[in-house]
Chains A and B, each alone.
Chain A
Amino acid sequence: MNVRSQVAMVFHLDKCIGCHTCSIACKNIWTDRPGTEYMWWNNVETKPGTGFPTQWEDQEKYSGGWEVRDGKLQLKSTSKEKTVFNIFHNPHMPTMDDYYEPWTYDYQHLFDAPEGPDQPTARPISMVTGELIQIQAGPNWDDDLGGSPVYAQNDPNLKGLTPDQQQQLFAVERLVFFYFPRICNHCLNPACVAACPSGALYKRGEDGIVLVDQNRCRGWRACVAACPYKKMFYNWNTGKSEKCILCFPRLETGQAPACFHSCVGRIRYLGNVLYDASRIEEVAKLPDEQLVEGHRSLILDPHDPEVIYEARKNGIHDSVIETAQRSPVYQFVKVWKIALPPHIEYRTMPMLFYVPPMAPVMANRDAGAVNGVSGDLFHDIEQSRVPMKFLANLFGAGHEAKVRYALRKQKAVRWYRRALTVGDVEMSVAERMLREADSSPEEAEAIYRLTSLCTFEDRFVIPPMHREEAIQMLEDPLAHKQSVGFGFTTGPRRGM
């Protein structure tokens, strides 16, 4: 056992509003500079849809992530040797067309236009070239099913749905969408790090945050190709790769990352978990259908004396063990099992988990009139407008059982609370539903509270970073106190 601490995350998709406040919180702070305009470390996608960059989930196109080859875990696109070979031309690399060409407008024209025969208007101009452009794509182009015949119908996750089911998804009977916010998963088995020929990428020992060293990065962009989630971006101005840093300067000062802080849907949870680093490779090689369970098994019980002993042995601070014990992520992922990793079949062992969304009941159309198919107060999860298979493709490596489990439990919690707060449902019925969903009134109460009543402090249990100890390795913290901020700072420079 090699116990380590990782800051992990849960996004509760049932609550997601799709507002993109998270995206802008991030952009304002981190990616508003030349070279980063097109980057959205945090973005929000509409599902079904093709996302950003377009069809990033299509690994036949991008070849990101890992695969098991000859019993070994290998980067899908390439071996290390191939990376070097493909440095100057990587066929799997997303191009500007796959992202979008960032633009602004010639706003100044509104002030400067000379008097003329017609009204001036500010035309779009490229932020890359400064030239007038025709806008053909954006980071959120298919938001809310915009262009659904082009985008939603080409969602890679529709794989495995019958053509009939696929068709229905765009008819009144089954029409639906939900939102899928994404940041870097700060994976336990990060393909980006493995792919870097310069050794610029690393995973921080104390919290598992994956970073690109802006001094060491040489702009090979192997990480961009290797990350199956396409959360690695190339800064065309500095010539370095950049990615979500999980707002470590905020975390280090006990503040939630900006996108978490700003989440008005209150869908985000963050806390550290203790995991067994020695079993990552073993788990990452499991067959698809065992991956979710295997991944979950990496997370250790922070109350287990043996785990605590091993954690201490690895230098994990008592205070960090305590936050792990209070971690909301641990509850959602390990205890309740209702949060699932995205595309675990990419085998990067993401440390961001999603609670799958509920959806309205299906309908039927009879002689022009539309009726919901359910006679129940809360319809059965099999009658949901989102096909189980679709969710399974996202959160179960194509296998439905784990998704069904998570949805059934959520639904049972609702029945239980209904029985408690209204009384038009018999409590015995609600309790039966809980049992059938592998739950109990106590657990239902706990799920309800963390889902609905959660405060900021409930959602974000941030492990203390003990910066004094980190700084002490370089200089006396007292000296740091006295001198920090003085001196000149420079950003990373372009070039090898």
Chain B
Amino acid sequence: MKPNGNGNGVLPWIKDEARPQLRSWEQFYRNRWQHDKIIRSTHGVNCTGGCTWQIYVKDGIVTWEMQGLDYPSLEAGLPPYEPRGCQRGISYSWYLYSPLRVRYPYMRGALLDLWKDARSRHEDPVEAWASLVGNPEARGRWQKARGKGGFRRADWDTAVELIAAANIHTIKKYGPDRIAGFSPIPAMSMISYAAGARMLELMGGVALSFYDWYCDLPPASPEVWGEQTDVAESADWYNAKLLAVMGSNLNMTRTPDCHFAAEARHNGSKMWVFAPDFNQVAKYADEWIPINAGQDCAWWMAVNHVLLKEFHHENPTPYFLDYTKRFTDAPFLVELRQQDGKWRAGQLLRANRLAAYQGVENGDWQFLMWDAGDGKPKMPQGTVGFRWAKQKGKWNLQLKDGQDGSDIDPVLSFLGGETVEVELDDFGEGRTLTRGVPVTRIQTADGGAVTVATVYDLLMAQYGVPRGLSGAYPTDYDDEGLPYTPAWAEKYTGMGRETLIRFAREWGNTARHTRGKCSIIIGAGVNHWYHNNLMYRAGIHALMFCGCVGVNGGGLNHYVGQEKLAPMEPWSAIAFARDWMPAVRLQNAPSWHYMHTDQWRYERSFRDYHAMPRDGAGGGEGLDIAHGHTADVQVEAVRNGWLPFYPQFDRNPLDVVREARACGQDPVKVAVEQLKERTLKFSVEDPDAPENWPRVWYIWRGNALMSSAKGHEFFLKHYLGTHTNAIAEDLAGGSVREVAWHEQAPQGKMDLVVDLNFRMDTSALYSDIVLPAATWYEKADLNSTDMHSFIHPLSAAVPPCWESKSDWQIFRTISKKFSELAGRHFPDAVEDLVASPLAHDSPAEIAQPAMRSWMRGEVEAIPGQTMPNLKVVTRDYKNLYNEFISFGPLVRANGLGAHGTSYAIEDLYDETLRARPVVSWGGQQYPSLFEDQQVCDTILHFATVTNGELAYRSYQNMQEKVGLPLTHLAERNRGVRLSYKDLQAYPHRLLNSPMWSGLSENGRAYAAFTYNKECLVPWRTLTGRQHFYLDHPGYLQFGEHLPAYKPKPSPVEYADLRLSKADGPSLMLNYLTPHGKWHIHSTYGDNQRMTTLSRGVEPFWINDRDAAEIGIEDNDWVEVHNDNGVVVTRAAVSARIPRGISIQYHSPERTYSVPKSPLRNYRRAGGHNSLTRVRLKPNLMVGGYGQFTFHFNYWGPTGCNRDTHILVRKLPDLRW
């Protein structure tokens, strides 16, 4: 039996194949392993992993998935990318055939019955819909049933007809801008995103943003760089020699790339991890900094204090100073102004104030440096003024005067000369300080003189670097009383000064030795706080002071929900129907939800919780946005064209045009007049009036009602009109001035909510219609990310299962039905008036040098300049379907571009008509967008990152603007043209493109802003440099012109716990919802694999001593509540959580394992967003000013949620 039981000393269990038939049973496992097919795909939403996967098919059934390993390798000395793909991704195949899969269309029973009845009475579906929504009782019937069961299987025809009819009715009665759609982060399945957005934009509907709404957009990035976000691909972490990881749990959220950080350590890199809890990435740390939650700003402010003192002032590091001069605004001159007898820093001094530059083009947008050589102020090239000048070629970072071409040797500091005492804000203590600042005086053209300081000297003062000047400078690092010393930071961060000083010195030394290879990896743990922009900015300053931005191995690497849709140019044309429509409706979701869900009603002035400068500080002329209610600032932002808001007006925009035409007048002119007369009003001024409600909402690829719904319970109440667990009171009545107040807030604004889904998630559960969507293993699509520099496909391993369809097919189907019904209701093309805000990367960046209001008569009302753009757009609804499936003519005429780039495609477009599938209608031929794969190929064919010739053209175009050579960056790849099938073969690396700020040729790891630093292409900011100083008048009013520490909003002032009271032993804790281990947002978290490996619920993590205090043991059920709602889950009691905070990882579903809440009369408890309510930071609403200019997902207030507090107690009674 055991042939080796011999005398050779060998133990007897080794079985050689002497009797192989005894081992023939081994086929049992071999059979399992055998499979029929492997197809490449990936996971298509809301995960920036962008991992390439091999999907295994056996018997026509997807059995499992394994990671693809075939990423092309990068340059020598970098670890490879394989394998990529985490525990969540590898569990995806569970969904395909699971009981959670949406296999058929479903409709809420109450609605289906009413619809059938209405259709029996109305031959026309549009009339049938009108009869239902016009009947409050009927409308309320299905609204109140939302989320409460009663789904009925429906057929596609019924569902699509109802949806199309609802669209047509809404357009006719209210206007197309009452139809909205939400789908997050297109990069992960860009065709699927584009499907819905394209249909909506062709219709005149509204696409909602996601990045800012998720609070994943770091506003500090546009503030400093004029860039939405650009970061290093993960391989570049390996180049960093000091890694500061904060608010980013690489193991959890960057799972496939975490190894680069781990491996860098073995290459001699040092890793510091900042987190209040001992989180997963802390295991890799050399030093774990258990910093108090939300106090990262204090840490960095003090670090900057040390860096400036030791590496700039006492021992100036040549590299640091040179970098600061060339690539930052530090040498620019700021005008100091006296207010109430005190000097305060004001705006950057404009060149046209000086006689020498009085007549220069865009003189309000030209700025000055002091030239050491000639001893006078000079006007450097590269500013926003040069960007939009008629004469091109001076928008570059050469240190030359833009007028006479002379060299500039910028002075950083006037130290040694005259000083004045400048008033600075100390928000931590709620006081002001004065500190001496070196200044100089400059003669102005009007014969006067201005007192100016460099940004650099102001920074030295703000950071409190003692340089022998007068005023409230700290004596040394141990001075606890004055900002921003290491001792000062202790009381906020809880971290000792020795550690901080050691960190700062290691930072400075490492950067000095490596010329900038210090990297901050940062994410939602920091970015979701109310004052996130200040926290980020302080960290960014440490990078800028030490020359770490634009350097491989350096930079701010922000990873949370970040969006890098690499082939942006053709994709955005298709997604937003720019190939047909000259204007689009893109809405920043934070503003939209804040107003429409009525969350603004539940707070008073933002000054209740937002630390502000003393009254009168910052002043200046024009609008005061530093007082009052956030909703009022929101209204100003819309009126002035800073932010979009849809619906636009209290009237149907189709009617506005029709009526103007009827009188033979220009609709734009009429609209402006009526707005001035207030006979036409912005909807945002009265969001609760029925004519201003959004009516139809599409949700696809996302969980808009739960996972991302900050203030979820208010969504249920005001959008859906169903049950809610919110008990918060309306408070805003006495606080709002610009927004109309209704004593009674409306409930149930939405007529129809349509969800496309492959699983029954919370959003699906609460929708009226659920359409079965193909999974990511059942369709063709494209995927890119900024975690790596490759692009790869989603492919169909099996066809869409049961009755599901791809998102592209679904919206195509709806479009077809819509066009059919439009034949009767819109036999002729209609005209729509589209209002859109002032746009980044357009001349609107220099539209508003001051905040002046046309409403108040301070300036003329000029569309696109002092107010929103207004454009008449023609819509041919009966051909909407044809347009949907055709790559339209506007791209051929206008070319493509993004982020300020541009290139012609006429020849390629025509070639496509000859060589690729086309559609014909109306006597014309167009490249076909009928099939998903055709859309993929069109995008790949017309994008700079996948078509080398177009990259070359785009650089050529940019070269003319910049005036320096750039085409060499594309020379090598000019012949590359990628297709969908190429990507199916293996992931391909993206080509250099001027649309992105990094360079990646020859396997170099992509790092943000290397293009700017090495090719001297300006950042898209006011000065063209990285901005330390933010001189927007609104920022001056908020005291955020300089970096500053602002305290967290306190729980009482934040008003989450006004009515909620402790019932039994309870604790108040800060409620944190970072990204978790067992889900990507809410996806995967509900599958059997992930629930098994977690605890079957999304638990509530609490410190062991906190738990003991209120009698909670591990795995006890707990009830967590505040005025916004309630959560019931189980406790995970752990010492790794510090006292005073709690964590429930983002994001649970209400669909599984959620019991009822005794505190809410035994109603079903909610999810994490049941406890949140959104507050918007008003100064992030400004626009029309350099980098403070709107772009979708790019600029605007963000949906922060970290400052939430809750009460927790042991659940007294478990009921289901």
Interface set of A (CB-CB < 8 Å, partner B): 2, 4, 14-15, 17-21, 23-25, 27-30, 102-105, 107-108, 110-124, 135-136, 138-141, 143-150, 152, 170-172, 175-179, 188-190, 193-194, 199, 201-206, 208, 211, 213-216, 245, 247-250, 252, 258, 261-266, 277-282, 357-361, 363, 366, 368-372, 374-375, 377-379, 385, 410, 413-424, 447-448, 451-456, 470, 473-474, 485, 489, 491-492
The verdict on B628 contacting chain A, using a C-beta distance below 8 Å, is: no
Which residues of the partner chain A approach B67 to less than 8 Å between Cβ atoms?
261-262, 264
Give Cα A456 to B495, complex, Å. 41
Tell me the minimal C-beta distance from A410 to chain B in angstroms.
7
| Segment 543-574 of B: residues with Cβ below 8 Å from A | none
Which residues of the partner chain B approach A282 to less than 8 Å between Cβ atoms?
9
Q: Known contacts A21-B90, A262-B85; is A119 also within 8 Å of B14 by CB?
A: no
Closest B residue to A15 by beta carbon equals B262
The verdict on B267 contacting chain A, using a C-beta distance below 8 Å, is: yes
* Residue in A110, A249, A366, A456 whose beta carbon sits within 8 Å of that of B33 in the complex: A249
Q: Known contacts A147-B1134, A189-B11, A264-B86; is A206 also within 8 Å of B499 by CB?
A: no
Q: Known contacts A249-B30, A454-B79; is A277 also within 8 Å of B14 by CB?
A: yes
* Residue in B31, B86, B285, B1155 whose beta carbon sits within 8 Å of that of A21 in the complex: B86
B13 near A203 with CB under 8 A, answer: yes
B497 near A422 with CB under 8 A, answer: no
Which residues of the partner chain A approach B932 to less than 8 Å between Cβ atoms?
none
The verdict on B432 contacting chain A, using a C-beta distance below 8 Å, is: no
Which residues of the partner chain B approach A424 to less than 8 Å between Cβ atoms?
509-510, 513
B1104 near A170 with CB under 8 A, answer: yes
B13 near A193 with CB under 8 A, answer: yes
Q: Known contacts A144-B1077, A199-B2, A261-B66; is A473 also within 8 Å of B84 by CB?
A: no
Which residues of the partner chain B approach A144 to less than 8 Å between Cβ atoms?
280, 1077, 1134, 1136
* Residue in A27, A150, A248, A418 whose beta carbon sits within 8 Å of that of B1114 in the complex: A150
Which residues of the partner chain B approach A114 to less than 8 Å between Cβ atoms?
149-150
Interface set of B (CB-CB < 8 Å, partner A): 1-2, 4, 8-11, 13-17, 20-34, 63-67, 69, 73, 77-80, 82-87, 89-91, 93, 98-100, 106, 109-110, 145, 147-151, 238, 241, 251, 255-256, 258-259, 262-270, 273, 278, 280, 282-283, 285-290, 490, 494-499, 502, 506, 509-510, 513-514, 517, 723, 760, 765, 1077, 1086, 1088-1089, 1091-1097, 1099, 1101, 1104, 1113-1115, 1132-1136, 1138, 1150-1156, 1163-1164, 1216
Which residues of the partner chain A approach B265 to less than 8 Å between Cβ atoms?
358, 414
A-B contact pairs, 13 of them (CB 8 A): A18-B280, A19-B255, A19-B1077, A25-B66, A110-B765, A146-B1101, A193-B13, A215-B25, A245-B29, A249-B29, A249-B33, A282-B9, A360-B285
Give Cα A290 to B815, complex, Å. 76
B510 near A121 with CB under 8 A, answer: no
Q: Which of B23, B87, B1088 has the most CB of A within 10 A?
A: B87
B258 near A415 with CB under 8 A, answer: no
Tell me the minimal C-beta distance from A374 to chain B in angstroms.
8
* Residue in B149, B268, B282 whose beta carbon sits within 8 Å of that of A113 in the complex: B149
* Residue in B259, B498, B1091 whose beta carbon sits within 8 Å of that of A264 in the complex: B259
Give Cα A219 to B937, complex, Å. 57
* Residue in A4, A139, A416 whose beta carbon sits within 8 Å of that of B14 in the complex: A4
Give Cα A193 to B150, complex, Å. 56
A29 near B765 with CB under 8 A, answer: no
A369 near B149 with CB under 8 A, answer: no
Tell me the minimal C-beta distance from B242 to chain A in angstroms.
9
A205 near B14 with CB under 8 A, answer: yes
Which residues of the partner chain B approach A414 to less than 8 Å between Cβ atoms?
265-268
Tell me the minimal C-beta distance from A281 to chain B in angstroms.
6
A115 near B17 with CB under 8 A, answer: no
Give Cα A143 to B1136, complex, Å. 11
A369 near B496 with CB under 8 A, answer: yes
Q: Give 18 A-B pairs besides A121-B1154, A144-B1134, A206-B16 with Cβ atoms closer than 8 angstroms.
A: A19-B255, A23-B87, A29-B63, A102-B1092, A105-B1088, A107-B760, A117-B148, A139-B1093, A148-B1135, A170-B1135, A189-B11, A204-B14, A258-B66, A262-B85, A369-B495, A377-B286, A379-B286, A470-B17
Which residues of the partner chain A approach B1115 to less than 8 Å between Cβ atoms?
136, 147
* Residue in A28, A122, A149 whose beta carbon sits within 8 Å of that of B1151 in the complex: A122
Closest A residue to B1214 by beta carbon equals A134
Closest B residue to A13 by beta carbon equals B283
* Residue in A204, A215, A357, A451 whose beta carbon sits within 8 Å of that of B15 in the complex: A204
Which residues of the partner chain A approach B8 to less than 8 Å between Cβ atoms?
2, 277-278
* Residue in B99, B1095, B1113 whose beta carbon sits within 8 Å of that of A135 in the complex: B1095
Which residues of the partner chain B approach A145 to less than 8 Å between Cβ atoms?
278, 1134-1136
Q: Known contacts A23-B87, A453-B79; is A115 also within 8 Å of B150 by CB?
A: yes
Closest B residue to A119 by beta carbon equals B1164
B17 near A24 with CB under 8 A, answer: no
Q: Known contacts A140-B1094, A144-B1077; is A17 also within 8 Å of B258 by CB?
A: yes
Give Cα A103 to B1091, complex, Å. 9
Which residues of the partner chain B approach A415 to less than 8 Å between Cβ atoms?
268
Give Cα A36 to B991, complex, Å. 47
B90 near A28 with CB under 8 A, answer: yes
B109 near A264 with CB under 8 A, answer: no
Give Cα A224 to B27, complex, Å. 23
A105 near B32 with CB under 8 A, answer: no
Which residues of the partner chain B approach A448 to less than 8 Å between Cβ atoms?
266-267
A177 near B268 with CB under 8 A, answer: no
Which residues of the partner chain A approach B494 to less than 8 Å between Cβ atoms?
368-370
* Residue in B149, B283, B1164 whose beta carbon sits within 8 Å of that of A178 in the complex: B283
A143 near B1093 with CB under 8 A, answer: yes
Give Cα A415 to B1136, complex, Å. 30
Which residues of the partner chain A approach B34 to less than 8 Å between Cβ atoms?
249, 485
Which residues of the partner chain B approach A25 to less than 8 Å between Cβ atoms?
64, 66, 90
* Residue in A21, A107, A116, A474 whose beta carbon sits within 8 Å of that of B20 in the complex: A474
Q: Known contacts A205-B17, A360-B282; is A20 also within 8 Å of B145 by CB?
A: no
Which residues of the partner chain A approach B69 to less than 8 Å between Cβ atoms?
261, 456
* Residue in B266, B1092, B1099 whose beta carbon sits within 8 Å of that of A103 in the complex: B1092
A456 near B82 with CB under 8 A, answer: yes
Q: Known contacts A23-B87, A111-B151, A453-B79; is A361 also within 8 Å of B267 by CB?
A: no
Q: Known contacts A199-B1, A360-B282; is A138 also within 8 Å of B1096 by CB?
A: yes
Tell me the minimal C-beta distance from A238 to chain B in angstroms.
10
B149 near A452 with CB under 8 A, answer: no
Which residues of the partner chain A approach B73 to less than 8 Å between Cβ atoms?
455
Which residues of the partner chain B approach A2 to less than 8 Å between Cβ atoms?
8-10
B9 near A278 with CB under 8 A, answer: yes
Which residues of the partner chain A approach B98 to less than 8 Å between Cβ atoms?
107
Rank and list the top 9 A-B pairs by shortest CB-CB distance, nearest first: A115-B150, A418-B268, A205-B16, A417-B268, A113-B149, A371-B496, A147-B1114, A202-B15, A278-B9
* Residue in B77, B90, B286, B1094 whose beta carbon sits within 8 Å of that of A361 in the complex: B286
Give Cα A144 to B760, complex, Å. 29
B148 near A118 with CB under 8 A, answer: yes
Q: Known contacts A135-B1096, A277-B10, A280-B11; is A21 also within 8 Å of B263 by CB?
A: no
* Residue in B9, B147, B498 whose beta carbon sits within 8 Å of that of A281 in the complex: B9
A421 near B149 with CB under 8 A, answer: no
Q: Known contacts A111-B106, A424-B513; is A202 also within 8 Å of B1164 by CB?
A: no
Which residues of the partner chain B approach A112 to less than 8 Å between Cβ atoms?
151
Which residues of the partner chain A approach B2 to less than 8 Å between Cβ atoms?
199, 202
A360 near B287 with CB under 8 A, answer: yes
Q: Known contacts A20-B87, A103-B1096, A421-B268; is A30 also within 8 Å of B149 by CB?
A: no
Give Cα A289 to B917, complex, Å. 74
A24 near B285 with CB under 8 A, answer: no
Tell me the minimal C-beta distance from B731 to chain A in angstroms.
28
A146 near B495 with CB under 8 A, answer: no
A452 near B17 with CB under 8 A, answer: no
B1099 near A146 with CB under 8 A, answer: yes
Tell me the minimal C-beta distance from B529 to chain A in angstroms.
21
